[in-house]
Structure 1
Amino acid sequence: MHLSASQIASATGGTLHGPDVQVDSAAIDSRSIRPGQLFVPIVAARDGHDFIAAAVAAGAPAYLTDRAPDPAIDATAVQVADTAIALADLGREARRHFGDRVVGVTGSVGKTSTKDLLAGVLETTYTTAASEKSFNNELGLPLTMLGAPDDTEAVVLEMGARGVGHIALLCDIASPTVGVLTRVEGVHLEMFGSLEDIAQAKGELVESLPADGIAVLNADHPVVAAMASRTRAKVITYGVEQPADVRAENIVLDDQLRARFDLITPWGSAPVALGARGEHQVPNALAAAAAGGGLGVPVDAIAAGLAGARLSGLRMEMSTTGGGVTVINDAYNANPTSMAAALQSLATIDATRRFAVLGTMAELGDDGPAAHRDIARQAADLGIAVIAVDEPAYGDDVTHVDDVDGAVDALTGLAGGTLGAGDAVLVKGSRVAALERVADALD
């Protein structure tokens, strides 16, 4: 989005120093600056003000600052009281340029995939902008909005939370007209404290919607379905197991774990060949279909969008090594729900032997040890051999290793010396574990 420095000063209550230059989008990392972007230095573990000169050298024509501009830096400055608050204000300024197709997506699991699938659906009909990767907090959300092209007709924003009130803040910035809720699960309990607090936080999205907005709720998840009472917006439900407005029938998986199903909606029906892998992606696809249909996307276009949607990396990526080993790289993140789904996906693969290299499931608080043991039990019930990387909580019935090299050696050992055709390996853990390195080592 193009803004002038004077518009930025007006929106943030800042003081303009220098020429009234134009900027196109914004960045908070000087290493990622593209020519023309506004640089927003954030004060966190490192002070972004230390990198203003580098950002300007990389092509930033203007920057925000909460202190007197350095006369040695040849760029326009907008002096503000707090750069993080100013970034949120710029998100609100960007919102003024969008219409009534601004979608917020939240939930304990599935929100990034749902965001990606919905972007694919909306792109069939509207010029669409969506959050990159997991840009889902008070910094990433306004950056996404500022990065939207000037001709944007629809925006999809992922919304995360670290506590009650965080999603309400994001909604204050974005003013969504559509809210999509996936699931409420006991993840991030270390930050929230209880499942009730998680539900309270996630429901802030539907509470923010206008009366002429749309709340898209998961009928299969009672906690989410009950949020219908917390919104004045129109409710559209989706689900596989319970009666819903948008549902899937005749679900089958191909040999690449991609689901095919009949999409049933209030706007018509269509066959869907889902591009995303794993049966657990079907509810996410239904959520995207419900939001897209509610925003006027024809049902045939919805099906095409679901087939062609581009998912963020490290999510059920499937490959075959030169030796014929099937590798499922689902290493972006992990919690008990997504871990169980990934194990079920591994169990459906046509393979002689199945192995799972699992890292920690972070931020589970006091529930962590029991949750890890339960995952180990589920894997054993499915006939999957588990190699736990630097996480003793999986218990005594799995193979434990300290690092990636140990995991690769353990795989070879469990396979009797050689992995080959007929073997399948799942790699999954929370982001802190960075277990994609195992998948890379197997290629």
Structure 2
Amino acid sequence: MLKRTIAFLLLIYFRELAKLQLRKASPTIIGITGSAGKTSLRNAIAAVLKDHRKIKVSLKANSESGIPLNILGLSPKDYSFFDWARLSLLAPITLLTNWEPYDVYIAELGIDSPLPPKNMEYLLTIVRPAIGVFLNVLPVHGQFFDGLVPQTIKDPKERRARVSDAIAEEKGKLITSLPKTGVAILNADDPKVIAFFGKTKARVVTFGVRHKADLMAKDIGISLGGFSMVCKEDAKEEVKLKLGQLFPKHYAQTFLAAIAVGRYLGLSLAQCVRGLQTHFQLPKGRMSIIPGIRGTVILDSSYNASRKTMEDALQTLREVAPQRKIAILGDMRELGSVAKLEHEEVAKIAARTTDMVVTVGPQMKQWFTPELIKLGFPRKNLWSATGPYEALDIAKKLMKDKDTVLIKGSQNALFLEIVTQGLMQNPKDANKLLCRRGRFWDGKREQLKQSER
């Protein structure tokens, strides 16, 4: 209890100093929320604005501690007691010495709970965005919202809908908190997002692919050579966006949302597209194309996973792979009572998009694997591993020339970047290409290695 109290007081300390730091720059604050894709959207908005505004980005910072430290210009090293003591001493000094000029602060707002300090309400005591972007709603971190759904509701699909409603309500506080002079940028393709159209005082701008919106995309094309789409504004002006990286088709929504921010801040549609084409970089571990051993291609999406992103990644694998399609899929964590349903639904997509599957983790083995077998997937093409090192050993025996390998799973417990590194043609490039780098994460991976072997 004492430790928790001290931690909360420390959060308030950093928060108040960060608020003072923000006053020095008085930037326009852009808040980004959603269940998946926030970091990619943050990067896309930064790319759009880079040539036209002085921007600061909440790099590797989307939480109750990360955001204020980022505003102050501080970064944790190993999250130890001594590290927090160091940050506490540096914070007031930084407040006096850091006069970094910027016009726009792009804040990724991640919530893990309906309760403070891990909820949206608390994050909005740190930053008060004038521009709010709401990307999507999925039952990610659903286990922390499960308690808001009556236990009398047993049907998994109904529970998932109720959990998603609770998540939408919490994330949507970003939109309902916007000032009358601000703008809410909403995904018209997500019914739980567009429901906030009439719940804000701010002006509303919509984007979408399947439903009519202010900004839309058509002619979306993907291949191992890149991504393209045509951006339409108010069904009038059209500009083609071409990028030399592979993105799943749902990235069209990400790019439209970023363009909407740019248009609101006075940029032309062509300027927004040019910014994306010039500056956008995919965050590590999100469908990066990496050359693999034996002439294979790796689609590294090892950073994290939810049902929707897993399904989109599998559909992308099917569309771009020239020959055999192998998926190395890890557990989707923190889903609470809907975990079984979510894993089974991913199995339905995997059954028609892959030739071989290696699962990693107990949830995949318990729920995904039986469903895949029930759907008629050949048992001889299916393997289960307890952890990433075992999965790596299996994959090395399977891979052949011209295979395309998708690697995707939840973050922080599975560390599927271990599999990616072991299958890379040039493992020495790991620090440049893969997610979760540095001493802290190296230590976590070493602990996992010792426990697994």
- TM-score, with length taken from structure 1: 0.77
CA–CA separation in structure 2 for the residues paired with 1:347 and 1:423:
12
Corresponding position: 1:139 with 2:120? no
**Higher RCO structure (Cα 8 Å, ≥6 apart):** 2
CA-to-aligned-CA distance 1:190-227 (integer Å, 9 cap, x gap) = 01122221011011001111101010000011110110
Q: Distance in 2 between matches of 1:304 and 1:242?
A: 25
Equivalent residue, structure 1, for 2:421 = 440
Q: Which residue of 2 aligns with 1:360?
A: 331
Aligned residue for 1:23?
A: none
Per-residue displacement from partner, 1:236-262 (whole Å, max 9, x unpaired)? Answer: 000001011111122112333x32111
1:250 to 2:219 alignment: yes
Partner of 1:349: 320
Gaps of 5+ in 1: 1-42, 49-80
The equivalent of 2:430 in structure 1 is none
2:400 maps to 1:430:
no
- Of residues 30, 46, 53 in structure 2, which corresponds to 1:119? 46
Aligned residue in 1 for 2:172: 203
The gaps in structure 2 that reach 5 residues or longer are 74-97, 147-162, 374-381, 425-453
Instruction: For residues 406-426 of structure 1, give each alpha carbon's deviation from its aligned partner in whole angstroms, at most 9, with x where no partner exists.
Output: 21332244x3xxx23220111
Q: Distance in 2 between matches of 1:367 and 1:208?
A: 30
- Deviation of 1:233 after TM superposition, in Å, equals 0.3
1:212 alignment counterpart: 181
Q: Is the 8 A contact 2:223 2:320 kept in 1?
A: no
One-letter code of the match for 1:225? I
| Stretch moving more, 311-320 or 213-222 | 311-320
Describe the shift of the 1:153–1:173 C-alpha distance in structure 2 as closer, same or farther (beyond 3 A): same
Distance in 1 separating the partners of 2:268 and 2:52: 8
Structure 1 residue 322, shift from structure 2 partner: 4.5
Kindly indicate which of the two structures has a greater share of residues assigned to helix: 2
Task: Give me the whole-angstrom Cα distance separating, in 1, the residues matched to 2:246 and 2:59.
Answer: 17
CA distance in structure 1 between the partners assigned to 2:345 and 2:186 by the alignment:
28
Counterpart residue identity of residue 442, structure 1: L
Tell me if 1:185 matches 2:165.
no
Paired with 1:44 and 1:340, the residues of 2 have a C-alpha distance of 40
| 1:327 maps onto 2:301 in alignment | no
* Structure 1 segment 281-292 matched on structure 2, within 5 A: 281-292=251-262
Cross-structure match for 1:84: 11
Which residue number corresponds to residue 11 of structure 1?
A: none
Q: Structure 1, residues 89-110: CA drift from partner, whole Å, max 9, x if none?
A: 0121122134452100001111
Question: Is contact 2:326-2:406 (8 Å) kept?
Answer: yes
Quick check: 1:329–1:427 contact (8 Å CA) kept in 2?
yes
Identity level (%): 30
Corresponding residue of 2:275: 305
Map 1:23-422; keep pairs closer than 5 Å: 82-99=9-26, 101-133=28-60, 135-147=61-73, 150-164=100-114, 166-193=119-146, 194-256=163-225, 258-265=226-233, 268-274=237-243, 275=245, 277-307=247-277, 308-391=279-362, 392=365, 393-396=367-370, 397=373, 398-413=382-397, 415=398, 419-422=399-402
Q: Tell me the amino acid that sits aligned with residue 163 of structure 1.
A: S
> Which AA in structure 2 matches 1:263?
C
Note the alpha carbon deviations across 1:41-85, whole angstroms, 9 max, x for none: xx969x99xxxxxxxxxxxxxxxxxxxxxxxxxxxxxxxx93221
Aligned-residue offset at 1:312: 2.1
Query: Separation in 1 of the partners of 2:197 and 2:333?
Result: 30
Distance change in 2, residues 1:334/1:44 (3 Å)? farther
Cα RMSD (Å): 2.2
SS at match of 1:172: coil
- How far residue 268 of structure 1 moved from its aligned partner, in angstroms, is 4.4
What is the letter of the counterpart of residue 106 of structure 1? T
Q: How many residues align structurally?
A: 363
The 10-residue stretch of structure 1 (382-391 or 87-96) with the greater mean CA deviation from structure 2: 382-391
Q: In the alignment, which residue of structure 2 is the partner of 1:25?
A: none
How far does residue 124 in structure 1 lie from its aligned partner after superposition? 2.2
Work out the CA distance in 1 between the residues paired with 2:209 and 2:14: 40
TM-score, with normalisation over the residues of structure 2? 0.76
Structure with more strand by fraction: 1
Partner of 2:440: none
- Bigger CA drift: 337-346 or 390-399? 390-399
Displacement, 1:277? 2.0
The offset of 1:361, in angstroms, is: 0.3
